[in-house]
Amino acid sequence: MTRVAAVDCGTNTIKLLVADLDPATGTETEIVREMRMVRLGQDVDRTGRLADEALARTFAAIDEYAAMVAAHDVDALRFCATSAARDASNAAEFAAGVASRLGVAPEVVSGAEEARLSYDGATRGLVGRDLPEPFLVVDIGGGSTELILGDLSTGSAQAAGHVTAAESLDIGSVRMTERHLRSDPPSPDEVAAAAGEIAEAVAASDVPLGAARTVIGVAGTVTTVAAAVLGLDGYDRAAIDQAELAVADVHEATGALLAMTVAERRALPFMHPGRADVIGAGALILDEVLRRTTADTLLVSEADILDGIAWSIA
């Protein structure tokens, strides 16, 4: 048994997982799972650098995580940073701040590595289930969206399967909101502009979306849309994980979210306040990807890149 700590630092959120992993059996025992909305990617698309206030928010969250990691005596720690840190001119300042707080350098992972980790995290728990292959994992972040096609034909306790096609697209909930959805609620012209850019990016992807027989959605955009479809009275991780949603219901929820003001979204009982302003753009991305598949349902997974990072250590 190995106790690991995994940190996933994206454009909108920073997440921590501390877990005991048994590589021989593939067992994961979760000890700590935390998320903070820090919006590290604030204005990166426009300025090309991490904003001082965004760094301050992120470092405050990392200070919290450092205390948690120290309290649980982990054997190994991996810190992965994704879209915002890839795009920033002052990434060295960010890296120094992480290293001084956690004692490890952040790894600014490539889009391909991000996709592989997302796929592993999302599919590892599906080994042994009778689900049609290939799988398409859709991971919508704040700055980018990963599309990963793969299967479980080599799946075992040691490995969830293998990826046959993957791509990281420069469309994400924060990036698309900052570029297009500036009104509250967004105007029809703004929604059309965002939808057009998203459609163009998804259509240009080399991942054959139509080949997927099971579509798996991960990360906060998808799980929040799932909560909307399920009509939850609060964010319920157990109810959301492994939920199967009708694609038609996802399309309906997307339209409803886009029609709301930020205040109306924030008032939804399942909505994290830090996601309310960008969930419309994220839902648009999910909506477009699903339209490019032949799937009638979407399988939602609470396991994601964070779990993939943890297993990469073990």
**Using one digit for the tens of pLDDT, what is the confidence trace for 104-121?**
999 988 878 888 898 999
d(CA 245, CA 92): 42
Radius of gyration of the chain (CA): 18
Question: For residue 160, is pLDDT > 70?
Answer: no
Of 121, 117, 119, the residue nearest 134 (C-alpha):
119
**Using one digit for the tens of pLDDT, what is the confidence trace for 257-279?**
999 999 999 999 999 998 999 99
**Using one digit for the tens of pLDDT, what is the confidence trace for 58-83?**
999 999 999 999 999 999 999 999 86
Per-residue pLDDT averaged across 177-182, rounded? 95
Per-residue pLDDT averaged across 160-184, rounded? 90
Question: For residue 45, is pLDDT > 90?
Answer: no
Which pLDDT band holds residue 295 (cuts at 50, 70, 90)? very high
Of 167, 126, 145, the residue nearest 287 (C-alpha):
145
What is residue 161's predicted lDDT score, i.e. its pLDDT?
66
To which residue do tokens 């920073």 refer?
A: 14
Question: For residue 41, is pLDDT > 90?
Answer: no
What is residue 205's predicted lDDT score, i.e. its pLDDT?
95
Mean of per-residue pLDDT scores for the chain: 92
Q: In order of start, what are the domains of the chain with their CATH numbers? A: 2-109 (3.30.420.40), 125-305 (3.30.420.150)
**Using one digit for the tens of pLDDT, what is the confidence trace for 180-235?**
999 999 999 999 999 999 999 999 999 999 999 999 999 999 999 999 999 999 99
- The conformational region for residue 235 under phi > 0 = left, psi -120 to 50 = alpha, else beta, is beta
Per-residue pLDDT averaged across 157-182, rounded? 85
Question: For residue 253, is pLDDT > 70?
Answer: yes
What is residue 156's predicted lDDT score, i.e. its pLDDT?
46
d(CA 263, CA 273): 9
What is residue 153's predicted lDDT score, i.e. its pLDDT?
60
Question: For residue 143, is pLDDT > 80?
Answer: yes
Q: Which secondary structure element, helix H or strand E, spans residue 15, and what is its range?
A: strand 13-22
**Using one digit for the tens of pLDDT, what is the confidence trace for 8-20?**
998 889 999 999 9
Which pLDDT band holds residue 157 (cuts at 50, 70, 90)? very low
To which residue do tokens 């399942």 refer?
A: 270
Question: For residue 158, is pLDDT > 50?
Answer: no
pLDDT > 90: percent of the chain: 77
Q: Are strands 135-140 and 27-37 parallel, antiparallel or unpaired?
A: unpaired
DSSP class of residue 155? -
Question: For residue 90, is pLDDT > 80?
Answer: yes
Q: Which residue has the higher pLDDT, 29 or 114?
A: 29
Of 78, 68, 38, 65, the residue nearest 54 (C-alpha):
38
Per-residue pLDDT averaged across 293-312, rounded? 94
What is residue 154's predicted lDDT score, i.e. its pLDDT?
53
Per-residue pLDDT averaged across 237-253, rounded? 96
